[in-house]
Structure 1
Amino acid sequence: MQNTRLDTDRIRAARRLIDPAFLNTPLYRCEALEPALGCAVSIKLETANPVRSFKARGTEVVASLLADSGRRAAVCASSGNLGQALAWSGRARGLDVTVVSSRFATAAKLDRIRALDARLELVDGDHELARERAADIARADGIRLVEDSLDIETCEGAATIGLELVDTEPKFDTVLVALGGGALATGVGHVLKTFAPEVELICVQPLGAPAMAHSWRNRRVITTDSTDTIADGVDGRRPIPAVLDDLLLVADDAVLVQESSIITAMRMLFNQAGLVVEPSAALGIAALLENPTRFAGRHVVTVVCGSNVDVEAYHRWVGTGRIGES
């Protein structure tokens, strides 16, 4: 494999910087899903932690290195999960954290950012406008701008998931990951291509937010003017060139799925697996639903990457009744 920006020794070192609450997450065969999907399905569950997503694996590395260097503040743009993770990691190390988000982001995610003592600034636009505002704050205040996927710490933190996967038995044929900015895909992909190159890595995006998948297919950055998906965790419009370069080296495919499949996958994960997941975390199952013949007879791992949902929206999508009611 050609060299990505990631380094295996740094990935191993990252494990020592990450709070154990975010490491060695459950990986288990979910047989209840298999009759409808036609293949063996294992779940790598990244939601059973204090911020209910994989993002803290990266922010733990960022915050640890910042604190060690004596820097006391950071800012990021986030639709919710990165902001929560940076707020949690920063609070634990005495860092002042500012999060810039769209005021149209999921309310439950914004509330959690506030609850973690971060300063929250809202913009009247999408995630790309939030990224621009976060960069302005970083320049004006002279503080660290944390850019998910561009900052190598976020990718190498996510890559620790890959280390946990390749250390397991039995072995598997395919790993499905949600594709947004690319930290999860490039991190896990780097480890797979280094230690288990026979395993296929497939990245999944919604049809309504296809910029990174189109960029991967065309081997050049392709932007979109807008997005239209319930999967707010992966709805970026402007891929980062350096991240795309890494993705081209480690991904075997990038597929797009329909909104109806995402909702069906969320419902299946609730009914058959007992998991409440956000739309981005259901993308892997959605891909299995849309192309069952491709995966027939294979052992597939899907990374369930987040469970920060708006209760009312989740109820509309999945039709389960209100979460928490008996």
Structure 2
Amino acid sequence: MFAAYTGGVLLISISDIWEARRKITENVWRTRLVFSRSLSEKMGTMVYLKPENLQKTGSFKVRGAMNKILSIPEKERHRGVVAFSSGNHAQGVAFSAKLAGVSATIVMPEWAAKNKMAATRSYGARVVQYGKNSVEMESKARAIMESDNRLFVHPFDDEDIIAGQGTIGLEILEDLPDVDTIFIPIGGGGLISGISLAVKSIYPKIRIVGVQPSNSCSMLVSRKAGKINEIESCDTIADGLTAKRPGENTFSLCEKYVDDIITVNDDEIVETMCLLLERTKQLAEPSGVVGLAGIMSGRIGLGKKNVAVISGGNCNFSVLAECIMKREK
């Protein structure tokens, strides 16, 4: 059982998600659900994939970033933006900013993957490497915001970001209106907040299940406590899901709309990543397969029709090789 949470003010609604869709539709892909016969046979029920690993910049993050950047008034865009990210939000912000003619500075961790830094720079952003975790990166990004008078683009705890991610929920319902359960990775909670708000506002009975790495589960810890908690460390191969604490907005939305949160360990994430590549020929990064790993774990009951959001595909070759070697042992 989760403890009751009484804080938080929800300032976002389904109308914001429809407006986000209007804004971003010309600049992001409309990814289609893919039915996986092999995964369905393995689980004894129908499994569909929402392939945001095939999205522009390689992840869902571009949806929220695009909505945020395009929501900046023209008279403010000269200030530029600053963000912090381990990689996918960085690329989403950099890509969106370039499209809108806005300068971008991105704070990335000391351990950031080289391919994600290179991609971020290729979109014209300035990359500042700083910090070992999300708390340290955010502190640096806010310092740059103050010193350079830039606009801050939070990776998950922002209404425009959440609304942009929520457009995925609208697309799922268009492709599969009778879906029973949707499995969604959770880091800081922006993705699941947007999708769950969109889905539950239209079809309240659809079950929303969040999935976190067992060694990086600040949303689950916070939800059990009934208040936002910061965890000591985020030690997981799923580097895109390493938020030490959830946001005020995302925590409130998860409390209202998310039915269950489960965890998977790194071995399960690696196995699922390799299984996805082997059976469906889709390459996703470790963070991107965590929702599917939740389905494959058998840790929670499945519906007749289940959707796993494959949230990102920015996997470098060294991580892929490491995962394959782990699986083969």
Q: Tell me, yes or no, whether TM beats 0.5.
A: yes
1:74-113 matches, cutoff 5 A: 74-113=81-120
Alignment partner of 1:8 out of 11, 14, 20: 14
TM-score, scaled to structure 1 = 0.93
Q: Deviations over 1:280-316 (max 9, x none)?
A: 1111221122226722x62110111100012111111
SS at match of 2:230: coil
Rounded to whole Å, the distance in 2 between the matches of 1:279 and 1:215 is 23
Q: Indicate the residue corresponding to 1:323 in structure 2.
A: none
Name stretches of at least 5 consecutive residues in structure 1 with no aligned partner: 321-326
Q: Label 1:288 to 1:299 Cα distance change in 2 as closer, same or farther (>3 A).
A: same
Kept in 1: contact 2:173–2:179 (CA 8 A): no
Amino acid at match of 1:138: M
Q: Does 1:118 align with 2:125?
A: yes
Q: Which residue of 2 aligns with 1:60?
A: 66
**Paired residue secondary structure (2:34):** strand
Shift of 1:235: 0.7
Cα offsets for 1:33-54 (capped at 9, x unmatched): 1222222100111122330100
Residue 21 of structure 1, CA deviation: 4.7
1:222-233 → structure 2 map (5 Å cutoff): 222-233=229-240
Tell me how far 1:249 sits from its aligned partner: 0.3
- 2:179·2:305 contact (CA, 8 Å) conserved in 1? yes
Do residues 279 (structure 1) and 286 (structure 2) align?
yes
Between 1:188-197 and 1:34-43, the stretch displaced more is: 34-43
Change (3 A) 1:300 1:311: same
SS of structure 2 residue aligned to 1:71: helix
Change (3 A) 1:14 1:293: closer
| Partner residue, 1:30 | 36
Q: Which amino acid aligns with 2:187?
A: G
Residue equivalent to 1:256: 263
> Which structure 1 residue ranges, 4+ long, deviate > 6 Å from structure 2?
none
Equivalent AA in structure 2 for residue 302 of structure 1: A
Give the TM-score, by structure 2 length. 0.92
Bigger drift between 238-247 and 175-184 goes to 238-247
- The Cα shift of 1:225 comes to 1.3
SS for the counterpart of 1:66 is: coil
| Offset of residue 244 of structure 1 | 0.6
Q: CA–CA distance in 2 between the matches of 1:191 and 1:293?
A: 23
Identity of aligned residues (%): 27
Separation in structure 2 between the aligned mates of residue 39 and residue 281 of structure 1, nearest angstrom? 21
Task: Spell out, residue by residue over 1:187-232, the C-alpha distance to the aligned partner (whole angstroms, 9 max, x if none).
Answer: 0000111101111000000011011111123221121111110101
1:239 is paired with a residue whose SS is coil
Give, in whole Å, the separation in 2 of the partners of 1:250 and 1:124: 33
Query: SS of the residue aligned with 1:176?
Result: strand
Q: What amino acid sits opposite 1:200 in the alignment?
A: R
State the distance in 2 between where 1:21 and 1:94 align.
Answer: 14
- Check conservation: 1:101, 1:121, Cα contact below 8 A: yes
Secondary structure in 2 matching 1:254: strand
Distance 1:201 1:69, change over 3 A: farther
Q: CA deviation at 1:126?
A: 1.8
Residue 308 (structure 1) aligned with residue 314 (structure 2): yes
Moved more, 85-94 or 37-46: 37-46
1:218 aligns with 2:189: no
Q: Determine the C-alpha separation between the residues in 1 that align with 2:9 and 2:168.
A: 19
